Amino acid sequence: MSLSIPPAARPDLSPRPFTYANARLTCSGADLTELAERFGTPLYVYSADAIRERVSMLQTEFAAVPNTLCYAVKANSSLAILKMLGELGCGFDIVSGGELERVRRAAPQALRQVVFSGVGKQIWEIDAALNADILLFNVESEAELEVLSSRATALGKTAKIALRVNPDVFADTHPYISTGLREHKFGIAIERARDVYRRAAQLSGIEPAGVSVHIGSQIRAVEPFQQALVRVRGLAEELRSDGLNIRYIDGGGGFGIEYGVAAFDPAARVAEYSAAVRTALNGINVQLLLEPGRFLVAQAGALLTRVLYTKQNGAKHFVITDAAMNDLIRPALYQAHHEILPVLHESRASQLADIVGPVCESGDFFARDRLTPELRSGDLVALLDAGAYGMSLASHYNTRVHPAEVLIEAGHPRLIRRRETLDDLLAAELL
């Protein structure tokens, strides 16, 4: 199906570092066509300048209150990006021993600004975090608290803890990434928290030091954050009246972005978010911990892919690329929207097409019935907003190797992950 659109029309990409120059898509001044020729496809491309800008937005807006930005490593765990964030003064939010090791290798100076979240911490992970002297364990169950006490005592350590409380606040997001309701596996019901803190204060090796909350991801309204923190603040004040030295409130992450091309002013959104958080915590003397992930890195990244084939099945038109759901699973997993742009901007008619990959699954798609300029074999396209939960969720399904990653700094590209080989992929297997 072909539709007529103005050939010069280009989407408004203002919050992103991706712009057209001389009809070629660039990232922070680097030509994406040249990057694809040099490094191959599929290829993840990130703008260091864009990430720094987002960090600066948050640091500026929250400067009036004591705070630490603990970047959520799960969003994008590239060592080079972690190193850069550590140099910018960020701490880290981790959910596994593997993520702790990434921080140790990339930003060892930030280990004492690490918070460890997650419902299923294993003993070896707890031991590694205790030995690293991390800032805070976000404890998610009474059983975990007992194990943490046992391990801290055995190692002669003291574990500073915050209970992750579940405030039963609804956040309008995808059900897979909503975490703040009673039916979710995360956290401890806020009504029970005071009793659990009393038990924690009696345990060997445990120091109650904070309260933590995280209500979900990709939340674009500020009201749920404010509601949750009002409840957390009330609990913190009760715990102080019980004699506990509560000096941290971890507000979690989840601050969202716009994945489409609708008008989006990230600085204005941060100002609104900051005002809501500061209002909820006004007058209580605590160190505020924030766990941004997606907001810092998502719009800084794109996945470059080349069109292999096009085909027509009845009324359906398909564009088949060399990237697949194993490289970027968000559309298949969350029905997520990613803008898809031709890297070379030419005067072509538009078409409705399914943009799909080579993986042997009907769920292997990036878009269905998407209106784009006509795409032909050999064309390069960019899937925008792929800097978060792109490479970090990549798999080897269909025995497909991981793509390379490139970081652009002031127009200069740097390879930060070489393309995997089949030998790399098979190296751990035994015959």
Complete DSSP assignment for 199-211: HHHHSTTEEEEEE
Q: State the SS3 of 223-259.
A: HHHHHHHHHHHHHHHHHHHCCCCCCEEECCCCECCCC
In 290-304, which positions are buried (b, 16+ CB within 10 angstroms) versus exposed (e)? bbbbbbbbbbbbbbb
**Please, what is the Cα angle at 366 between 363 and 368, to 5 degrees?**
80
Contact between residue 305 and residue 328 where contact means Cβ atoms under 8 Å apart: no
Contact between residue 316 and residue 407 where contact means Cβ atoms under 8 Å apart: no
Q: Return d(Cα 209, Cα 160) in angstroms, integer.
A: 6
For 58-182, where are the E strands, in sequence order?
67-72, 91-94, 114-116, 136-139, 159-166
Structure tokens at 175: 């059900």
Structure tokens at 186: 């995360």
Residue 385, CA distances (Å) to 49, 172, 199 in order = 15, 20, 44
**Residue 195 φ/ψ, nearest 5 degrees:** -65, -40
Omega into 175 within 30° of 0, i.e. cis?
no
Neighbours of 189 (CB within 10 A): 12
Q: Sign of torsion, CA 18 21 23 26?
A: negative
Location of structure tokens 């991981």: 402
70 is catalytic: no
Active-site residue, selected from the candidate residues 27, 70, 90, 360: 360
Structure tokens at 239: 């715990």
Helix (H, G, I), strand (E, B) or coil at 42: coil
Q: Return d(Cα 368, Cα 107) in angstroms, integer.
A: 40
124: enclosing H helix or E strand: helix 123-131
Please enumerate in sequence order all residues whose Cβ is within 8 A of that of 298, keeping only pairs 6 or more positions apart, or say none: 75, 257, 259, 385, 386, 387, 388, 389
Side chain identity at residue 189, one-letter code: A
| β partners of residue 313 | 316
**Which residues are part of the catalytic machinery?**
360
